[in-house]
Structure 1
Amino acid sequence: MTHQIRIAGTDVSFACEPTDTVLDAALKAGIEMPYSCRKGVCGNCAARVEEGEFELGVVSAEATPPGQQLLCQCRPRSDLSIAPASWRRAEPGARQRLRLKVYRNTLAAPDVSLLQLRLPAGKRARFRAGQYLQVQLPDGEQRSYSMANPPHESDGVQLHVRHVAGGRFSALAPGLQPGDTLDVELPFGQVEIDPASDRPLLCVCGGTGFAPVKSLLDHLLRQKSTRPVTLVWGARDRSGLYLLEHVQKWARGLPDWRFVPALENEADAQALQGHHGRVDTAVRAVADDLQGAEVYCCGAPAMVSAVRAQCAALGLPPERFHADIFVVG
């Protein structure tokens, strides 16, 4: 039986099949709400369910705020009234299926490929900083990767691909040659930072979680943002900070800038005048109080959970913690 999902306080509603999640039904109906991983891990799609009955799939307790539910795992068993953090109608035709051509494939670190892909002539990729695309594999499965380039560089996309043991696409990426093609769909994700905000911004990332942070900070640089920005980038050793030269670009262009490399290798941390340890302990080292800040965190689930807990302990309101979680699958 099809159920109706109403957005509380509005006259907006949409249909949801019992087999669909509320988030999937909203996206099908052209209603955009905050989300990222769609696997019950990141917590971005959390919302209050004010009326009705539902059942939940697998969710992360750490990512679920008190009194809220993760809409990516919520399936209705009656009509529902929900109160998402925000919503808007999708721009018609915003999502595109494209065949992209490999323009350049370079090894940025021993285990990271930088793929530069070009769009067909006359096409442009429309996306917001922090969004991602899905690459279609030959057997029809899909893998998600963030666009590392900012939205104004719209004639192509840059992907940062870590070589993961057993990874389907990461096993293919090192062998891609100029002229090879990939079928993709974009954009996905609603993790975005208000470019007009003047709140101090703390970006925390691990490994190739740097990719969406790069897009975001390049966009802020383009907008001539004057807000205070701190970047904490974590890796095992110096080789994991595979685009340090790009960080210098932000140091020159953002007027209130701080960069803290967080490295497990003590000698490398000392050489870069960074933090020896994990990124969550680096957050504690760089900030005494986050009540007035905004945080964007991108990386593996355990890392994001640890950073989320650290930020909460430092007074950050939960609605100002934006997470983009890399879920291997």
Structure 2
Amino acid sequence: MSHRVAITGSDIAFDCAENQSVLDAALRAGIELPYSCRKGVCGNCAGGIAQGEVAGLDGASIRNESCTPEQVLYCMCTPASDLQIQPVSWHRIDPGARKRFTAKVFRNQLAAHDVSVLQLRLPAGQRAKFHAGQYLQLAVGDGSTRCYSMANAPHESDALTLHIRHVPGGAFSARVPMLQQGDLLDVELPFGAVTLDAASARPIVFVAGGTGFAPIKSILDDMAKRRIERPITLIWGARRAEGIYLRSAVAKWQRQWPGSFRFVAALSEESRDAEDAFSGRVDQALQAHCPELAGSELYCCGSPGMVHAVRELALQKLGLAAADFHADVFVDGPALSAAEAVPA
């Protein structure tokens, strides 16, 4: 049995099958709602229900700490009746935008003791269309996929660069150190709605934890390419200094924006006496260096716990508007099948 789901204030409506999430039904119908993890963790897909009833998929919770009382997680709920929903935003998906490629390993470099920078080349004459901040799904080989953000800017469209942390026992990450030049990998892209509002000139704060730096690097390289000028703060967290594994990229942005780019390395397990270092977690560094966020935009990428701590601090104590918090949560484990989520 299916139910009809309509978006309030529009002529958009689509069917949602039994035991299918509202988010997946929208994506299959060619409508993209805000989302990131699709596992009920990040809260990006939270939106309102103007009319009708929903239930949790397989008994899952339809809310988390990021939801207001009026919101539910579209990725974790299924209709129990016909619905009218009130998403924060929505847009039609370009049917030709998402594509599958068999990419070839071009370079595999160890950037830190537990992080590989994996560069992939697309087949000759093919290009990947994506927005800075989006991610791809990579086929692991057992029928599941893993999600990795593109670290390169969109203008480098014949290649894909991924920052991959080595997770012990990881279905793919544990294999990464053994990948050789010429090895083939099946990928699909783009996914994700955490992208930059290029029309805004407001101050922007980026907060990254570990390899959460990858999508932020893509955004900043894209801003540099397009010569976008706005006040920028980058807070990058790691346990120790060697975890800040691409200082050369930071140095490039410091040269690009000498008067408007500020960098802080937040080191949770190490004290460093340096102008750009902070001893503590990223949320503590954010409070120390950005005590007033009203009128700013904040992009946060990292683990669920880190993103939650930054979100809570920014919204409850530092004056950031909820609509100006954008998060990409890195969650271990398989991604949902792309076939379940995209237009046929």
* Alignment TM-score, normalising by the size of structure 2: 0.93
Q: Residue 123 of structure 2: which of 120, 125, 128 is its match?
A: 120
Matches within 5 A, 1:74-89: 74-89=77-92
Query: Letter of the aligned partner of 1:266 in structure 2?
Result: E
The answer on whether the counterparts of 2:263 and 2:276 sit within 8 Å (CA) in structure 1 is no
Task: Please state if 1:11 is matched with 2:15.
Answer: no
1:242 match = 245
Amino acid at match of 2:330: F
Secondary structure, aligned partner of 2:128: coil
SS at match of 2:228: coil
| One-letter amino acid of the counterpart of residue 321, structure 1 | F
Q: What percentage of residue pairs aligned between the two structures are identical?
A: 56
The yes-or-no answer on 1:163 pairing with 2:166 is yes
- Normalised TM-score (structure 1): 0.97
Question: What letter is aligned with 1:54?
Answer: V
Q: Which runs of 5+ in 1 are unaligned?
A: none
Q: Which residue of 2 aligns with 1:327?
A: 331
Pairwise CA distance, 1:60: 5.8
How do 1:1-329 residues align onto structure 2 when only pairs under 5 Å count?
Answer: 1-56=1-56, 57-58=60-61, 61-254=64-257, 255-267=259-271, 269-271=272-274, 273-312=276-315, 313-329=317-333
> Could you tell me how far apart the structure 1 residues matched to 2:168 and 2:120 are?
24
What 5-or-longer segments of structure 2 have no aligned partner?
334-344
SS of residue paired to 1:26: helix
Distance 1:84 1:184 in 2: 29
Q: CA deviation at 1:266?
A: 3.3
The letter for the 1-side match of 2:43 is: G
Answer yes or no: is the 8 Å Cα contact 2:241–2:270 preserved in 1. Answer: no
CA shift at 1:59, angstroms?
5.1
Deviation string 1:231-289 (CA, Å, 9 cap, x unpaired) is: 0000011110000111011111124110010002434x324641100000000001121
SS in 2 for 1:270: coil
The 1:240/1:140 distance shift into structure 2, 3 A limit, reads same
Q: Which runs of 4+ in 1 moved over 3 A?
A: none
Residues 60-80 of structure 1 deviation map (CA, whole Å, 9 limit, x = unaligned): 622223311110111001110
Q: Letter of the aligned partner of 1:253 in structure 2?
A: Q
2 CA distance for matches of 1:266 and 1:24? 43
Opposite residue 104 of structure 1, the aligned amino acid is R
Counterpart AA for 2:18: P
- AA of the residue aligned to 1:262: A
Equivalent AA in structure 1 for residue 203 of structure 2: P
Partner of 2:339: none
Equivalent pair of 1:263/1:274 in contact (CA under 8 Å): yes
Give, as a single letter, the amino acid of the residue that structure 2 aligns with 1:45: C
Contact 1:234 1:278 in 2 (8 A): yes
What's the secondary structure of 1:266's corresponding residue? coil
Letter in 1 for 2:169: G
Give the aligned partner of residue 340 of structure 2: none
Q: d(CA) in 1 for partners of 2:29 and 2:232?
A: 36
Residue pair 1:59, 1:70 contacting (<8 A) in 2 also: yes
8 Å CA contact 1:231, 1:260 repeated in 2: yes
Shift of the alpha carbon at 1:182?
Answer: 0.3
Q: Aligned to 2:309, what secondary structure does the other structure show?
A: helix
Aligned-residue Cα RMSD (Å) equals 1.1
Answer with 298-307 or 271-280: which moved more.
Answer: 271-280
Distance in 2, Cα, partners of 1:35 & 1:173? 27
Quick check: 1:49–1:80 contact (8 Å CA) kept in 2? yes
Report the Cα distance in structure 2 between the residues aligned to 1:185 and 1:96, rounded to whole angstroms.
6
Structure 1 residue aligned with 2:336: none
